[in-house]
Structure 1
């Protein structure tokens, strides 16, 4: 008689908190689990949340405590699950006064509301700010569905095709506009095919918006995209004067107009 062999079925269950967030730390990085972050989170209220358009309450951890070994002059990039890639200096993220950055953590047992009908929530991780007006924080500095924050070389080093004419003075409005482009536009758009974002169209190829928007309308579009081109699925946020003052908007447009003459081969 053949021996009786008993087969035991082992069930492997996914952990309750499966989401992961990779953050830079010292010379390397650390991957955080949802459960780990929730254990050290505190309750905060965010006024007029950029993504939800209303006051929101979150369980969140100050970004400053999650970035040991990161220096104020480091350059960071927050990457979302949909390809949104926000470029930002480390200094604002390390700030513990004024405008303060937080990693909001979605508790699977208490999920956040969807961003819109048929859409997911801003979780599992969302970079939010308290008192953002104190630091002129741009809507592009609120990446939701965040997967990682990486420490990288500055944008101008990684993507030479974005650079203005090197003959321009450092304080030229075009160079100031380049800095504003990195802060406000590069999270969604590429230019001359350069950049890491995968959300919006290229802003120089085949045509630059300064080439097809009538005078004044580009600025109106940046101020209120839905007011000029209504599109329910549009993702571009409005840039109010409190975030992008008129003088800075002029500099941003000056950079775009300048780059229209510096197109790279497709």
Structure 2
């Protein structure tokens, strides 16, 4: 386990908790935080003991955005052909690629990179005191974290245009009404609610099925025709007779007992998936 300076990482009950940990700076986002987050999510994805990851922030704010007081970002100065990647995207891309669901638990301010890093999570739970803002145009800069791809898929192009063009800050109720946030909770209940959701996923879902379903939605929901999706679906459904988790899922339902799924994400993902 590496020593993290700006986040914390722990695993308990098959849940990895990744916490932004710069409360003295309201969890201001830095390059080091970005790289530590990307490392932590890659670690969680590779660990078979981890079934779900919860992303949260220490203190009363999730993240107020980039903390440029730390000297700015590590811009690559080798020219336009360089392959430098901005820090928010380092995290959102890692979460996008994961085979484990990610629950973001957001309270207080989630501004700029503090919201874009959560857009590739599977769930965003927010406290009633949460505030959101894609404030880039008000700083003369540009959206990052691949947010121009993720946000319209979550809330529609019209709402994404409103929030991103205006750069205005909006409250938790507006975020929930638009579909950015799944559920609202009182601040003192937020993390408990995230762990309750994680526990339900751990107890009642099959890890390989979750991994395949998560990536089907992300990788194939935007294709131009249902035909290629149906091709993948057909191969997946055809594999059911030799799939022990499918047998267990049906038996546990018929026998009215909790399922015990045995397939492992690292070993048992179908080889024919087009994104593998």
Larger strand proportion of the pair: 1
Structure 1 or 2, whichever has the larger Rg, is: 1
Instruction: State the TM-score, normalizing by the size of structure 2.
Output: 0.22
Higher helix share: 2
Please give the TM-score of this superposition, normalised by the length of structure 1.
0.22
